[in-house]
């Protein structure tokens, strides 16, 4: 938020007061220089005049109120001045005061409208200091108004006009603004950008699209050669510098600890194959990679036995274990010998184990994404249908916390089990039975038979669903039967079956599903090569292949993610961030079931 600042003395803004004019003032320079008058005194003098003179004095009062730090008073005074009746130079001052005061009152959209008023075309006639001040304000307002790409363009435009000290801060703000732009929008903007802005967008895309750290570093160095005269070439953003430092200190020998025997063997093999595919991708391009040693977790009765062996072998980092109980035991140790990225989450909230990081396909991530997606879609009141399982209850707890933190209202929850009971549970959740009873009472009062269509309660805007496919297939028909067919449903990925058989997902059309990019957009650079070698990676096991890919990509980035909380990695399993307790969180993409298949939700027009 912009700090309150006094406007400089200029032809547009002279801090003056009235002390009895010999003739009515017609411009700001006509006002006598008596600097101690209050806003109230200026407004009293304005009441003695009418028309242009009164407007001029009120504009002067608004400026004085701003210089006194009273944004609300500025807005109040401006509301009594018809801007279109002012001369052009005074319209410019009006717009400037309106923008500053709106921004100070946390109303960026109103500030943006003021900065886009036609009077701003007069800005180029003003002194350079005045122009820069407004352009910096415009960049701040654009960022706050949700237009970070435009904010970055504004800052790039003025960068060469700033002092050396200002340029340092401005470059970081350009990078921070681009960090808020989605990868899709950056890709769309790239072909049309020119000059410095083109360089900034290309650098930002490198950090998004090249997920492997080795490929990123190579691309950054190539970028520095291509854009040798770019302002960022010699002064890279802090997060990029940190990435280069992490690359130089990355481990040379890592252990992959997985249960290659027993009930989790298939999952372990998928994780291993995904991990090694990402490993060999960089290796095949001539980039040196760490040595990887495989360890069968089922061969060790004691994790400390494994760590002793790994240290003797020269291992510097451990990826694994996969079993939840083993991750819990690691989290409860006072210290572990080697930095470790566990491939599951512990139930413990302990943050004492600084060398332990946790990454997995937790339903909580999908639930939190559902809350955010529903909120962004404009819903504010929801109900939940949750399976009577451990993962279902965990998903609901995470959804409820995220939804209420956003400010949403949770109307109710039904725990579902047998498909045959779901219809009655949805009816109770939507108060359909109460609506039917009201219809019967109407008939009794009127004394004759009338058609009264039951209606669901109106304060439920959408449903959160954490259910298996068999349960989920009951939802749409039941909602249609209960007169709520248009109610949006946000589901975890458990609700549908991945595959080419559309009959598996009968009756699920229109349900929104949280899904990993690997299975939704299928645009990952490794997708084609992995699925051609392991066709099962196109199905449900694809989530584990994708998890293995991301484990290889992020383990060497964890120190950077730990130091820079804003670091995001666009992975095969979602957008990845790291929390203070060492847990990797995923933000999911959203698909919709259409014709029995999942497709990106952005490709389908959904009813609101």
Q: What is the pLDDT of residue 436?
A: 42
Instruction: Give the mean pLDDT of the chain.
Output: 86
Q: What is the pLDDT of residue 308?
A: 96
Q: What is the pLDDT of residue 606?
A: 54
Mean pLDDT across 1-9: 47
Under DSSP, the state recorded for 454 is -
Mean pLDDT across 16-23: 38
Please report which confidence band the pLDDT of residue 16 belongs to, taking 50, 70 and 90 as the band edges.
very low
C-beta of residue 231 within 8 angstroms of C-beta of residue 196? yes
Q: What is the pLDDT of residue 551?
A: 96
Work out whether strand 584-587 and strand 574-578 pair parallel, antiparallel, or are unpaired: antiparallel
Q: How far apart are CA 116 and CA 358, in angstroms?
A: 47
Q: What is the pLDDT of residue 570?
A: 87
Q: What is the pLDDT of residue 608?
A: 45
Lowest mean pLDDT among 26-40, 144-158, 163-177: 26-40
Q: What is the pLDDT of residue 484?
A: 80
- pLDDT 10s digits, 288-314: 889 999 999 999 989 999 999 999 999
C-beta of residue 508 within 8 angstroms of C-beta of residue 473? yes
Predicted TM-score (pTM) of the model is 0.76
Q: What is the pLDDT of residue 288?
A: 83
Mean pLDDT across 509-516: 95
Which residues are CB-neighbours of 408 under 8 A, at least 6 positions away? 371, 374, 375, 379, 380, 381, 382
Per DSSP, what are the bridge partners of residue 357? 341
Backbone angles phi, psi at 589, to 5 degrees: -80, 165
Per DSSP, what are the bridge partners of residue 574? 571
Mean pLDDT across 263-292: 91
Lowest mean pLDDT among 4-18, 214-228, 414-428, 575-589: 4-18
Work out whether strand 409-416 and strand 381-387 pair parallel, antiparallel, or are unpaired: parallel
Lowest mean pLDDT among 119-128, 260-269, 345-354, 384-393: 345-354
Picking from 207, 237, 323, the residue whose alpha carbon sits closest to that of residue 575 is: 207
Rounded to whole angstroms, the maximal C-alpha distance in the chain is 100
Q: What is the pLDDT of residue 247?
A: 87
In terms of C-beta density within 10 A (0-12 exposed, 13-18 middle, 19 or more buried), how is residue 564 classed? middle
Mean pLDDT across 342-358: 80
C-beta of residue 392 within 8 angstroms of C-beta of residue 364? no
Q: Which helix (H) or strand (E) holds 238?
A: helix 238-248
- pLDDT 10s digits, 204-233: 999 887 777 888 899 999 999 999 999 999
| Cα 576 versus chain centre, distance | 11
- pLDDT 10s digits, 96-116: 999 999 999 999 999 999 999
High-pLDDT (> 70) share of the chain, %: 88
- pLDDT 10s digits, 469-491: 999 998 989 888 777 888 999 99
Please report which confidence band the pLDDT of residue 604 belongs to, taking 50, 70 and 90 as the band edges.
low
Which domains are present in the chain? 253-358 (3.40.50.2300), 363-515+591-603 (3.40.50.2300)
Q: How far apart are CA 185 and CA 593, in angstroms?
A: 25
For residues 307 and 127, the model is more confident at 307
3-class state of residue 180 by DSSP: coil
Please report which confidence band the pLDDT of residue 18 belongs to, taking 50, 70 and 90 as the band edges.
very low
Q: How far apart are CA 361 and CA 367, in angstroms?
A: 12
Per DSSP, what are the bridge partners of residue 382? 410, 462
Mean pLDDT across 42-56: 86
């Amino acid at each position: 938020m912009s700090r309150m600042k006094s406007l400089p003395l200029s032809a547009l803004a002279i801090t003056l007061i009235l002390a009895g004019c010999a003739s009515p003032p017609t411009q700001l320079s006509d006002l006598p220089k008596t600097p101690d008058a209050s806003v109230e005194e200026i407004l009293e003098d304005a009441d003695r005049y009418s028309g242009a003179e009164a407007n001029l004095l009120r504009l002067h009062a608004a400026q004085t109120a701003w210089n006194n730090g009273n944004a609300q008073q500025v807005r109040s005074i401006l509301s009594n001045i018809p801007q279109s009746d002012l001369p052009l130079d005074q319209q410019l001052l009006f717009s400037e005061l309106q923008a500053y005061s709106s921004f100070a009152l946390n109303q960026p959209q109103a500030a943006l409208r003021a900065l886009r008023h036609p009077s701003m075309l007069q800005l180029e006639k003003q002194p350079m200091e005045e122009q820069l001040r407004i352009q910096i304000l415009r960049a701040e307002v654009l960022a706050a108004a949700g237009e970070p790409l435009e904010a970055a363009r504004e800052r790039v435009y003025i960068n060469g006009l700033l002092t050396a000290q200002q340029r340092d801060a401005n470059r970081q703000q350009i990078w921070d603004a681009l960090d808020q732009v989605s990868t899709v929008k950056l890709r769309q903007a790239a072909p049309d950008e020119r000059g410095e802005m083109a360089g900034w967008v290309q650098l930002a895309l490198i950090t998004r699209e090249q997920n492997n750290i080795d490929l990123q570093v190579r691309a950054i160095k190539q970028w520095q050669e291509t854009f040798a005269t770019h302002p960022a070439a010699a002064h890279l953003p802090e997060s990029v510098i940190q990435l280069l430092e992490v690359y130089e200190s990355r481990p040379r020998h890592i252990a992959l600890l997985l249960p290659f025997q027993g009930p989790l063997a298939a999952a372990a093999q998928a994780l291993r194959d995904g991990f090694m595919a990402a490993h060999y991708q960089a290796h095949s391009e001539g980039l040196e990679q760490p040595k990887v040693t495989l360890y069968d977790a089922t061969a060790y009765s004691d994790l400390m036995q494994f760590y002793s062996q790994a240290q003797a072998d020269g291992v510097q980092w451990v990826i694994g274990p996969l079993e939840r109980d083993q991750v819990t035991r690691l989290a409860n140790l006072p210290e572990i010998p080697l930095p470790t990225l566990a491939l599951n989450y512990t139930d413990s909230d302990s943050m004492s184990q600084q060398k332990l990081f946790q990454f997995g396909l937790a339903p909580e991530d999908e639930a939190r994404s559902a809350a955010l997606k529903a909120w962004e879609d404009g819903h504010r009141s929801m109900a939940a249908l949750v399976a009577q399982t451990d993962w279902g209850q965990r998903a609901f707890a995470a959804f409820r916390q995220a939804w209420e933190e956003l400010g949403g209202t949770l109307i109710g929850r039904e725990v579902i089990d047998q498909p045959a009971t779901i219809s009655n549970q949805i009816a109770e959740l939507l108060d359909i039975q109460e609506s039917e009873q009201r219809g019967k009472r109407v008939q009794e009062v009127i004394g004759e038979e009338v058609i009264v269509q039951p209606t669901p309660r109106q304060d439920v805007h959408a449903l959160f669903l954490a259910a298996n496919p068999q349960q989920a297939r009951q939802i749409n028909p039941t909602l249609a039967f209960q007169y709520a067919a248009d109610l949006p449903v946000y589901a975890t990925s458990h609700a549908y079956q991945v595959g080419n058989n559309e009959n598996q997902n009968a009756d699920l059309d229109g349900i929104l599903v949280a899904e990993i990019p690997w299975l939704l957009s299928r645009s990952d650079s490794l997708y084609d090569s992995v699925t051609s070698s392991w066709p099962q990676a196109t199905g449900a096991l694809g989530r584990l292949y994708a998890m293995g890919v991301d484990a290889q990509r992020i383990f060497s980035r964890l120190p950077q993610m730990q130091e820079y909380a804003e670091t995001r990695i666009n992975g095969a399993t979602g957008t990845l961030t790291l929390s203070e307790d060492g847990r990797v969180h995923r933000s999911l993409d959203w698909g919709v079931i259409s014709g029995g298949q999942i497709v990106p939700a952005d490709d389908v027009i959904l009813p609101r």
